[in-house]
Amino acid sequence: MSENEYDVLVIGGGVVGVGAALDAVSRGLTVALIEARDWAAGSSSRSSKLIHGGLRYLEQLDFRLVREALKERHLLLTRLAPHLVRPVPFLFPLRHRIWERFYIGAGMTLYDLLGGLRSVVPRHRHLSRHRALEEAPALRPDALIGALQYFDAQTDDARMTLTIARTAARYGAAVVNRARATRLLREGGRVTGARVLDLETGREITVRAGQVISATGVWTDETLAMAGAGESRTMKPSKGVHIVVPRDRIGLRTAMILRTEQSVLFVIPWGQYWIIGTTDTQWSLDKDRPVASRADIDYLLDHVNAVLRRPLTRDDIEGVYAGLRPLLAGGEANTAKLSREHLVANPVPGLVIVAGGKYTTYRVMAQDAVDMAVRELGADVAGSVTQRVPLLGAAGYEALWNGRHRLAERSGLSVPTVERLLRRYGSEVEDLLDMITADPALGQALDGAPGYLKAEAVYAASHEQALHLEDVLTRRTHVFMEERDRGLAAAPEVAALIAPVLGWDDDAVRRETERYRLQVEAEIAAEKQPDDVTAEVILHSVPDLSARAGAAGANP
């Protein structure tokens, strides 16, 4: 990167940043993308993992946002990422007779209409209490008088973000994680690039660009300060916490959405688990490491247990994760009422800021940011084409899915395993299966995380730019949130598997494993604390891996 000057430098490896890199490079621009930690390490791996229009935004009369999000949902389901995004039915229990069915039903009718006549998801339907309890036998009969069922979609948010970054790289973008912008370069009042610190080696370089796009989410105000734009309160972060419980603990044949005093609560299928979330509370502590407290977990348990025949307990919880929503600051004291609209601005020449929004509309946000950067470049540049550019793994996915039985026979894997791999890697699964053919031992499950193959750990390091054990266990896979021990049993084996790829010696393997253990233990201890402040103190007893330049175990 230090040897080239780029048309665009994108700072931030969340879904909007990687989306901006893909949008820019697919227009023919030269692009560099840097991320201070790991791809999707912030908000983009800690969401409810939904691709949705936002049914509750209809109550806020934000029809344009809902329609825009539903259009993006359709594109992702049908063209851009059919291997990563799939429809999911949701049950909305009704508590009041007549008026609620009419009111909510009218909203869902509008939701269906905004989704378009060519929508690939079914329309909503009304259910009696008897029919609703057949779909959701886990619910108490007195918790509903009937229900409505509608469809939205879900995705693996971290994998989607990673796939967009890899797609941008496939088209020629230079993409690097664990590289932090330490300051912006200025020439005559114009931003012309950034000084970038390689956190793996401690080396600092200069990256020059005609335009810099900042997609730094909840850190937007810090980027504005770096640009000399003065103190700003553009962002008002909101913390959202989710818990993960085994699938057999809640008898549902459908996802579920419940009203709460703050917003809504989702119960979402996730493989052999349910994800339950989310909270919505203001956050003013460390943005790098939001943490769940006992109060957050109790809030989720109390609200879901209000409708369950057999209440959940803390012993049922397999995993917990917390993230920050990058909400735009507004006059509302309650973050649940802040708009999910996004902001694109040009605060100083050479710098474009994109902030706010929601995961589903990442592509629109990225397009708007690049449109503004292109105007500043003053060059004749093509318009955005990302609505017609499938993500890596999408091309040929349907044909491979139809031939999944042959893939299973060829690889020696079970058909359900091949189906799971196809839904994670799409047509890129061929590379993974080739690895297993070359070394059949890689087709075995991880000892401490039987939901994943050994090949997936190796592939994360060889093909997906995982540089640390945490990257593999937290984002390339989701062992951290799916296993009760948060991946401690799997950690030594995974570290040993990726060591040859990353050039680690035995000492580096031990350091990576020990650091992961300390981080897990600190997170578990933090979750037992009564509030955010005391939970954060516990979590910060272990240094953040992403803040250490030249961390042990880095590539030589």
Residue entry with tokens 């909270």? 279
CA distance 424 to 407: 15
Residue entry with tokens 């114009």? 190
Q: Per residue in 476-494, pLDDT tens?
A: 999 999 999 999 999 999 9
Please write down the HEC assignment for all residues of 65-91: HHHHHHHHHHHHHHHHCCCCEEEEEEE
Q: Which residues pair with 89 in a beta bridge?
A: 151
CA distance 498 to 16: 29
Does the bond joining 278 to the residue before it have cis omega, within 30 degrees of 0?
A: yes
Q: Per residue in 496-511, pLDDT tens?
A: 999 999 999 999 999 9
CA distance 449 to 277: 24
Split at pLDDT 50, 70, 90, the class of 554 is: very low
**Average pLDDT for 413-426:** 98
CA distance 107 to 103: 6
Give the 3-state secondary structure of residue 522: helix
Structure token digits, residue 183: 């300051």
- Residues in the chain, total: 556
pLDDT greater than 90 at residue 117? no
- The predicted structure's pLDDT at residue 510: 97
End-to-end CA distance of the chain: 19
Residue entry with tokens 């995380």? 449
Share of the chain above pLDDT 70, in %: 95
Q: Per residue in 272-300, pLDDT tens?
A: 999 999 999 999 999 998 999 999 999 99
- The predicted structure's pLDDT at residue 320: 97
CA distance 397 to 276: 30
Q: What average pLDDT does the structure give for the chain? A: 93
CA 214 vs. chain centroid, Å, equals: 18
Ramachandran class of 203: left when φ > 0, alpha when ψ lies in -120 to 50, beta otherwise:
beta
Please check whether residue 168 is in contact with residue 17, taking contact to mean a CB–CB distance below 8 angstroms.
no
Of the candidate ranges 310-314, 387-391, 467-471, 535-539, the one whose mean pLDDT is the lowest: 535-539
Domains observed in the chain: 6-44+159-234+338-388 (3.50.50.60), 86-152+236-329 (3.30.9.10), 439-541 (1.10.8)
pLDDT greater than 90 at residue 118? no
Split at pLDDT 50, 70, 90, the class of 437 is: very high
Q: How far is CA 152 from CA 90, 267, 479, in A?
A: 7, 13, 25
CA distance 362 to 357: 8
pLDDT greater than 60 at residue 546? no
Q: Per residue in 130-186, pLDDT tens?
A: 999 999 999 999 999 999 999 999 999 999 999 999 999 999 999 999 999 999 999
Structure token digits, residue 258: 């419940």
- The predicted structure's pLDDT at residue 553: 33
pLDDT greater than 80 at residue 229? no
CA distance 499 to 509: 7
CA distance 378 to 396: 38
Split at pLDDT 50, 70, 90, the class of 333 is: low
- The predicted structure's pLDDT at residue 552: 32
